[in-house]
Amino acid sequence: MTSTIHILSVPIGNVTKEEACAFAFKCIEEGRAASIATANAEMVMRAQSDEELADILRHADLVVPDGAGVLWAAEQIGKQFKERVAGIDLACRLVGEAALRQTPVYFFGGAEGVARDAAANLEKQVGKLHIVGTHSGFFTDEEEKQIIEEIRSGGTQLLFVALGVPKQEKWIRDHLYELGPCVCMGVGGSLDVLSGRLDRAPKWMQEHRLEWLYRLLKEPTRIKRMMALPQFVAAVKRDKEAK
């Protein structure tokens, strides 16, 4: 049983990337559906006002500590995550293992062509993948049915969903058991980076917990979303004082 650290009532698994990857492939080997969420400060704050998202995170099969904010929050209550498990790093680790095992993979989300290009770039890095299919994050109700059928009938065992928070988490929750025995992971903007459309922060910024700043500098329109960070800090401090 994975140990968890609760950050503002959201249970986050205290796992390494390797442990999270092993968990995903254990589910695949056992032929069971599972959901993986990647929690950062923004998602945890959204869960404070979105009870549906909060419930999804409480019942997810695994929630990993994606952002520097949740690592900081754990330290405020005298606890420590083993490491940061950034969604993009875990996705790459899972894809690398999928290449070795020829696990059927599907990439879903992003603008037109993003999922396709992300899959192609990943193949250059890890070798030949068993790609069931790719689709953008834009679809009609009828197309959604076709996407679900393609994922299921193709025997997909690993599905990356990039529809943004909380849409991707709610989509996975709504359709998990229609997709067959599939491990589904919400990956947000990771496909944009993997497709080459966005650059990732330099390694030194990642290591110093400044990836959020790099993304803000690159995408100033994120400023409204970034307002969740000071709100998160204040909420964590209030929560600490109340205990």
Say what percent of the chain tops pLDDT 90: 83
Q: How far apart are CA 151 and CA 190, in angstroms?
A: 20
Q: How far apart are CA 146 and CA 154, in angstroms?
A: 12
Strand spans (E) along the chain: 4-7, 10-13, 34-39, 62-65, 104-109, 130-135, 158-162, 183-186
Task: Answer whether residue 187 shows pLDDT above 70.
Answer: yes
4 versus 2: the higher-pLDDT residue is 4
Q: How far apart are CA 165 and CA 1, in angstroms?
A: 27
pLDDT of residue 186: 98
* Domain ranges, ordered by start, for the chain: 4-242
Mean pLDDT within 67-92: 96
Q: Please name the residues in contact with 33: beta carbons below 8 A apart, sequence gap of 6 or more.
A: 27, 176, 177, 179, 180, 181, 182, 183, 184
Q: Which of 40, 6, 34, 5 lies closest to 20 in space, CA to CA?
A: 34
pLDDT of residue 2: 74
Average pLDDT, the chain: 94
Phi, psi of 6 (to 5 degrees): -85, 120
Q: Which of 5, 179, 182 lies closest to 82 in space, CA to CA?
A: 5
Q: Which of 219, 221, 105, 228 lies closest to 166 in space, CA to CA?
A: 228
Pairing between strand 130-135 and 183-186? unpaired
Most confident of 162-176, 186-200, 220-234: 162-176
CA dist 102 → 91, 128, 137 (Å): 15, 8, 25
Do the beta carbons of residue 63 and residue 10 sit within 8 Å?
A: yes
Query: pLDDT tens for residues 210-242?
Result: 888 777 788 787 777 778 888 999 999 998 888
pLDDT of residue 1: 54
Q: Name the pTM for this structure.
A: 0.94
Query: pLDDT tens for residues 46-73?
Result: 999 999 999 999 999 999 999 899 999 9
pLDDT of residue 125: 96
Most confident of 1-15, 152-166, 213-227: 152-166
For the chain, helix, strand, coil in percent to 5 are: 55, 15, 30
pLDDT of residue 128: 97
pLDDT of residue 115: 98
Mean pLDDT within 72-90: 96
Query: pLDDT tens for residues 93-117?
Result: 999 999 999 999 999 999 999 999 9
Q: How far apart are CA 147 and CA 134, in angstroms?
A: 9
30-34, 138-142, 230-234: least confident range? 230-234
pLDDT of residue 206: 84
Mean pLDDT within 148-160: 98
Q: How far apart are CA 138 and CA 209, in angstroms?
A: 32
